[in-house]
Chains A and B, each alone.
Chain A
Amino acid sequence: MAESLISLENAGVQRGARWLVRGVGLNVHRGEIVTLIGPNGSGKSTTVKMATGIAKPTEGRVTRRPGLAIGYVPQKLAVDWTMPLTVRRLMTLTGPLSDVEMDAALGEVGIAHMKNASVANLSGGEFQRALLARAIARKPDLLVLDEPVQGVDFSGEIALYDLIADIRRRTGCGILLISHDLHIVMAETDTVICLNGHVCCTGTPQAVSASAEYRNLFGPKAANAIAVYAHHHDHTHMPDGRVLHADGSVTDHCHPEDGHHHGGDHHHHDHHDGHAHADHGSERRDANA
């Protein structure tokens, strides 16, 4: 097993008389993606706060590997107009960066051209990308993402999930992420932890969606499946509307022979029908391997 980055044992946080979350056990290893799902108020954010050290556990134990570098994308971040902040300045908010590192991180998330834009003028998707770039530029051992795709439209969401999976593959960092939609979990997720004030079930996405606890918690409708993103993309739609292909070329439109993509015209992603896509995705990946 790869090196453990963070481990929670029977950890819980109490506020007043109420337990926000209790009895959480979880481990994130190097190169592993762990996704937390659960209804509102189920303790997802509290669990992440314990993991990162923002919240101290009232009971139980939290162990972080000594010297662990964390890159964090918080759930809510509003930059007031009164603070003049460009994307470039945002990148060095918590630590210095060389220009090369900065450009590389911004390029990876596809907003290299927005380096000098004011943060206040970014769209929701661009802002999430900037936050993600800031977090990965630190070369973290552990990337913690609290609802990283909020405020992002559907195709942008898929692109971001692809990007996150790609970061894990290339850097080998561990990723702890909260999914904003309990039906949607990245296919690349190794472990899904379903919370509801406590750990209700844990396992691979397939195992969790099949479990009785999951069905009880979210009802028979959700029991259908956790939709799994497993599409392979051989091209990416950049924020300016151009298209970046796998071979590095850039065109104004995608080609008809391009792989699966997410234009509104042939939108056949059904959240409740995710298993079919999982198959489709793995075929594509094999074909391109």
Chain B
Amino acid sequence: MPDDFFVRAMVAGVGVALMAGPLGCFVIWRRMAYFGDTMAHSALLGVSMSLLFQVNLTVSIFAVAVVVAVALIFLQRRGGLSTDALLGILSHASLAVGLVITAFLTWVRIDLIGYLFGDILAVTQQDLQIIWGGGVLVVFAIIKLWRPLLASTVNAELAEAEGLQPERARFFFMLLMAAVIAIAIKVVGILLITSMLIIPAAAARRFSASPEIMAVAASLIGAVSVVIGLSGSLEFDTPSGPSIVVAALLMFLVSQVPSFRLARETGEPK
């Protein structure tokens, strides 16, 4: 059954959506949308590093994203420029450096569009193993980290005073972001990854009475977006990654309609 490329795409997309849900909630709560974008952009540098040093693509993207996150922490500690400006530098510098390096690699042909927008229909059995294996690890880690992460999101000092080590939680959160970006790159691509984190979580807010419900709802809304988006792309012959994001956008718009009872019922996990 998973031999069929369309089914593989569906399974891969749903896997990414499930792990992106809870992480996306934290991206929204902690106002880290631009941070997510920066890590995603650094993925192109990860791609070129993987080609340059002949290492596994997922590992390379993960490593570069972690380096960029650590660089950000270091630059923030040094003071001077605002986080906003630092992110702008890191984000576009890593994208540009990645593009320049790939230009030197004349012996390889790169499907740049595939990396930028994802190539979910080309997902292999091995990709599925990475997505679902990695996805289970990410979700497990998020559950383990949930209390300190949530408490430090509400107030870092409170978490610190009551012994929850917010710095440690923040560091692991960055690792998880890097992991999800490395895993999801094949599905939605560098330019659209942050949307899979943010849009389902934003749509979930209206239907959620607690942070936990919002995390689960974001996963489910993301999964439904994948199903709708992929089916739509098959039906209308549109690019698959962007179609998934458009489907998520539609779900977000529906969630914003005041007193749209039907949406409330379908969007809320029971």
Seen from chain A, the residues whose Cβ lies within 8 Å of a Cβ on chain B are 49, 52-54, 70-72, 74, 77, 79-80, 82-86, 89-90, 93-95, 138, 144
* Complex-state Cα separation, A94 to B162, whole angstroms: 7
Residues of B near A144 (CB, < 8 A) are 161
Show 28 residue pairs from A and B whose CB-CB distance is below 8 angstroms, ordered by the A residue: A49-B157, A52-B160, A53-B160, A54-B157, A54-B160, A71-B162, A72-B161, A72-B162, A74-B155, A74-B157, A77-B154, A79-B154, A80-B29, A82-B29, A83-B153, A83-B214, A84-B208, A84-B209, A84-B210, A84-B213, A85-B154, A86-B210, A93-B158, A94-B151, A94-B162, A94-B163, A95-B162, A138-B162
Known: A49-B157, A54-B157. A86 touches B209 (CB 8 A): yes
Query: How far apart are A127's CB and chain B's nearest CB, in angstroms?
Result: 12
Residues in B201-215 with C-beta less than 8 Å from chain A: 205, 208-211, 213-214
Residues of B near A90 (CB, < 8 A) are 154
Interface flag for B164 (CB, 8 Å): yes
* Complex-state Cα separation, A83 to B212, whole angstroms: 10
Give the residue among A71, A89, A90 with the most B Cβ atoms within 10 A.
A89
* Complex-state Cα separation, A138 to B157, whole angstroms: 16
The residue in chain B whose Cβ has the minimal distance to the Cβ of A49 is B157
The residue in chain A whose Cβ has the minimal distance to the Cβ of B206 is A84
* Complex-state Cα separation, A14 to B201, whole angstroms: 41
Residue pair B157, A72 in contact (C-beta under 8 Å): yes
Residue pair B154, A53 in contact (C-beta under 8 Å): no
* Complex-state Cα separation, A53 to B161, whole angstroms: 6
Query: How far apart are B242's CB and chain A's nearest CB, in angstroms?
Result: 25
* Complex-state Cα separation, A286 to B10, whole angstroms: 76
* Complex-state Cα separation, A63 to B153, whole angstroms: 28
* Complex-state Cα separation, A138 to B151, whole angstroms: 14
Query: How far apart are A141's CB and chain B's nearest CB, in angstroms?
Result: 12
Residue pair A70, B162 in contact (C-beta under 8 Å): yes
Residues of A near B161 (CB, < 8 A) are 52-54, 70, 72, 74, 144
Query: How far apart are A214's CB and chain B's nearest CB, in angstroms?
Result: 29
Known: A80-B29, A82-B28. A94 touches B213 (CB 8 A): no
Interface flag for B227 (CB, 8 Å): no
The residue in chain A whose Cβ has the minimal distance to the Cβ of B166 is A54
Nearest 3 pairs of A and B residues by beta carbon: A72-B161, A52-B161, A94-B162
* Complex-state Cα separation, A144 to B160, whole angstroms: 13
Interface flag for B139 (CB, 8 Å): no
- In the complex, besides A74-B161, A90-B154, 8 extra interface pairs with C-beta distance below 8 angstroms are A53-B161, A77-B158, A80-B29, A89-B211, A94-B163, A95-B147, A138-B162, A144-B161
Residues of B near A71 (CB, < 8 A) are 162
* Complex-state Cα separation, A83 to B154, whole angstroms: 9
* Complex-state Cα separation, A138 to B211, whole angstroms: 21
Contacting B205 at CB < 8 Å: which of A53, A54, A84, A93?
A84
Query: How far apart are A65's CB and chain B's nearest CB, in angstroms?
Result: 14
Residue pair B214, A84 in contact (C-beta under 8 Å): yes
Query: How far apart are B154's CB and chain A's nearest CB, in angstroms?
Result: 6
The residue in chain B whose Cβ has the minimal distance to the Cβ of A88 is B210
Residues of A near B153 (CB, < 8 A) are 83
Give the residue among B161, B205, B208 with the most A Cβ atoms within 10 A.
B161
* Complex-state Cα separation, A74 to B209, whole angstroms: 24
Residues of A near B162 (CB, < 8 A) are 70-72, 94-95, 138
Residues of A near B211 (CB, < 8 A) are 83-85, 89
Residue pair A85, B151 in contact (C-beta under 8 Å): no
Residues in B193-243 with C-beta less than 8 Å from chain A: 205, 208-211, 213-214
Residues of B near A93 (CB, < 8 A) are 147, 150-151, 154, 158
Interface flag for B159 (CB, 8 Å): yes
Query: How far apart are B201's CB and chain A's nearest CB, in angstroms?
Result: 9
The residue in chain B whose Cβ has the minimal distance to the Cβ of A79 is B154
Residues of A near B163 (CB, < 8 A) are 70, 94
